[in-house]
Chain A
Amino acid sequence: MTRDGEGPRDDVGIDASLSARELIFREVPEVRTRTWGEPDHESVSHSERRGLPRPVRSGTRYTDVHLDYRLAGRLRLREQPSGPPPEEE
């Protein structure tokens, strides 16, 4: 799992870690990720795997598995000069 302080500070994030002595997928899971932001955003996902190929196979016995996953997003704001809004015509 990644640490706080890596790169830009993210506004939201999900971190997950998993270690297992043995892992067997009876079905290959479908993983979906989604990020959103307004007015604009940027996101980062990062994973570290050990003992777990990409993609995994159903019915295969994986041993000594370790997985770190991180998904984070942050607002991307345009720097605007401070001041009153322009007069409307």
Chain B
Amino acid sequence: MQRGVRDTAGRRDAGGTEKPKGEKKPEREREERFPREQRSDEERAPRSRRSDENGTPRPEREDASTTSRSQRSDQERVPRSRRSDEDRTPEPHEERGARAESSDASDVYLDIPVVKVDEIELEVENLSASVALQAEVLDLLKLNVGVEVELGRVDLTIKGVEAQALLKVRLDNVRDVIARVLETIDAHPEILEHVVEGAQRTIENVSEGAGQAAAQLGQGAGSALEETAETAGDLVEGLVDDGDEDEDEDEDEEGDENEEEDENEEEDDAEDAEYEDAEEEWDEEDEDQDDEEEER
């Protein structure tokens, strides 16, 4: 595949064949882009790769400033799909040129190569593919661009399928913009002073605000502590006063209870005395009656 990139780049530069937008592609070109029965298994796997301007392939990686994601459906999402083994025969290198042409100028290139399937019964929801690019230089430059295609719900049967997808990112424009920014900074380094001053002002504002907040927090905490202490003191004093009053009341109550007991005892004693007196009287009366009977 990497060799194909170089081959294609050379062909593109030499031929310079650019097709107007919207024009139907000749069958030969489609055949080159969808070479039948000439794809190796290695090329069927999606991959991301970078290439230099001179065509020297780089190790596979995605640029840190670029995000790309895709959700594959075909083989991965469809349990009832069948792939034809006869379509997996390797392809000669010269036949890969046209397909690799798409990657020659792309810095990030996620390739979902030709997928050939006999039949798919596809039923998925929220199938989406998106690719985006983001770049920032301090507060001087913020770039962001992206595209997304989304299918809400897909329920279909498809036979004799050949499909492919490409997600591409070019960093040329962003690189040029960043280069211009850096050149401008190089020519006018005072720009950075403004940036630094702005950052310092931001930091000062933040620290000042934090200091004021901390001071207010301290004041608030101090006031709260003072009030809490006063409240606690009042409560303690109140508790102490209440405690003394309670003790006096308890003593009074005990005295009252003793007096009541004494009164009750006195009453009992009085009743006992009356009863004894009555008994004595009864005994005397009995003795008197006995004496009268004896006299009789």
Residues of A within 8 A of B (CB): 1-7, 9-27, 29-39, 41, 43, 46, 48, 66, 68-69, 71-75, 77, 82-85, 88
Contact = CB atoms under 8 A, between A and B. Distances in A.
A1 B12 CA distance: 16
Interface in B101-125: 101-102, 104-106, 123
B34 A17 contact: yes
A71 B149 contact: yes
B21 A7 contact: yes
Given A23-B156, A26-B157, A85-B191, A14 B149 contact: yes
Nearest to B160: A21
A17 B163 contact: yes
Contacts of A88: 194
B105 A33 contact: no
B147 A71 contact: yes
Nearest to A42: B145
Nearest to A50: B24
Classify the secondary structure of A's interface with B: strand
19 contacts: A1-B166, A3-B19, A9-B172, A10-B170, A11-B169, A12-B168, A14-B167, A15-B166, A16-B165, A24-B157, A26-B157, A33-B149, A34-B130, A34-B150, A36-B145, A37-B146, A38-B145, A84-B190, A88-B194
Given A15-B102, A22-B160, 14 more contacts: A2-B19, A11-B173, A12-B132, A14-B166, A17-B34, A19-B163, A24-B157, A27-B155, A29-B154, A29-B156, A38-B144, A75-B174, A75-B177, A82-B183
A47 to B, nearest CB: 10
A33 to B, nearest CB: 5
Contacts of B160: 19-22
Q: For chain B, which range describes its interface: under 10, 10 to 19, 20 to 34, or 35 or more residues?
A: 35 or more
Interface of B: 12, 18-22, 24-25, 30, 33-34, 101-102, 104-106, 123, 129-133, 142-174, 177, 180, 183-184, 187-188, 190-191, 194
Contacts of A27: 153-156
Contacts of B33: 1, 17
Contacts of A82: 180, 183-184, 187-188
Contacts of A22: 157-160
A63 B130 CA distance: 29
A1 B25 CA distance: 9
B149 A4 contact: no
